Amino acid sequence: MSTTDNCIFCKIVAGEIPSKKVYEDDDFLAFHDIAPKADTHLLVIPKRHIVNLNDLNEDDAELMGKMMLVIPKIAEQEGLVGYRTITNTGKEGGQEVFHMHFHILAGSRLPGF
Ligand code: AMP
């Protein structure tokens, strides 16, 4: 499991790895997924290194509430009428990057679910 030191998304937050940024505020960053699985494929991350949902505690409730509000804001900014959000938790849940992120997927190629 990644730590802050070798975390690719922490490096994106720090500007050490480039990203196609679409949104940034004090707490969150959103950028295009490097290997898009849909016409639009964005990732929304907290700037703070949180591994995944299992890493949360009561103190994170406000931050996570803000994250739920920032996602539709980004979707509106990007002109997305409808979209799918996914967060994978743990290797067995399909998580490959161990810094929490919500995928925003939209467009004509969304498979049935
Ligand atoms: P997950 O499987 O939920 O952990 O998703 C990780 C996502 O991060 C995948 O969709 C990758 O394509 C994406 N990804 C990995 N490295 C980068 C990067 N440097 N910039 C943007 N997206 C990335």
Q: Is the CB of 40 under 6 A from ligand 1?
A: no
> Is the pLDDT assigned to residue 35 strictly greater than 90?
yes
**22 Cβ below 6 A of ligand 1:** no
Q: Does the annotation mark 99 as catalytic?
A: no
Question: Which amino acid is present at 5?
Answer: D
pLDDT at 4 over 90: no
Separate counts of helices (H) and strands (E) for the chain: 2, 5
Domains and CATH numbers, the chain: 3-106 (3.30.428.10)
Quick one: which atom of ligand 1 is closest to the CA of 97? 4
Global pTM reads 0.96
Return all residues near 84 (Cβ < 8 A) that are at least 6 apart. Answer: 38, 103, 104, 105, 106, 110, 113
In this predicted structure, what is the pLDDT of residue 1? 47
- Neighbouring residues of 35: CB distance < 8 A, sequence distance ≥ 6: none
Q: In what order do the strands lie in the sheet with 102-106?
A: 21-24, 28-32, 40-46, 102-106, 84-86
